[in-house]
Amino acid sequence: MDTKNFLTKIDDEELLKEAFTHRSFLNESRDKIPSNERLEFLGDAVLEILVSEYLFHRFPLYPEGKLTLLRSSIVRTETLAKAAQLQSLGKYLHMSRGEEEHGGRTNESILANTYEAVVGALYLNKGLETVKSFLEATLFPRFEEIIDTKSYRDAKSHLQEVVQEQMKITPTYKVLHEEGPDHQKKFTVGVYVGEKLIGEGKGKNKQAAESAAAEVALKSFVV
């Protein structure tokens, strides 16, 4: 079942428009429809409970720690953005011309937020069962890839385990460089063991840059 079918289930036109209204659009529109940030907030909470329930039943032998890692891997920005891209959610967005010119329709953060907003709108309009069907069609299938590739293992946590086990010290992170305008900021972060730089990474936010730096460090870390 494709996303278009799910969107037609939302019979509240204002709620549907709100789900696809980026905050940048408010400055160029006379409509009083709010941005999708409140729906995003709600959708985030609904996602957490439904993903948790799915994992609880899908993996009855997994301990809490592994279930937490799996949940984090499926609700993180990159995964939600990929699900949104596969469902072409970006083409439905209302945003400012400037945001669109700067690639807003393919921006991972905006797409992930929109996915959460759609979840919030579906929940308000049709309830948990419809949201669950939406997730089963658009998000839950990605668990197979996540498990096969072991991408649920957070790079920062993995690096910390390795460094602490071998060197009895915790790695630290430092922003080395920032560039670009506020809406398209890029960060370069370094990860250190003591005073030694063991990896650098770039990302659209500090968290993404830290994760990239940890991945680099894991490939080259030698004691």
- Catalytic entry in 44, 100, 200, 215: 44
Give whole-number Cα distances, 159 to 85, 194, 217, 222, in Å. 30, 14, 8, 12
Question: Is there a catalytic annotation at residue 145?
Answer: no
- Catalytic entry in 40, 99, 116, 210: 116
Question: Is there a catalytic annotation at residue 48?
Answer: no
Beta-bridge mates of residue 97: none
The upper half-sphere exposure of residue 42, i.e. CA atoms within 13 Å in the direction of its Cβ, equals 19
Contact partners, residue 39, CB within 8 Å, separation at least 6: 15, 18, 19, 116, 117, 118, 120, 121, 124
Euclidean distance between CA atoms 170 and 101, whole angstroms: 42
List residues with catalytic annotation.
44, 116
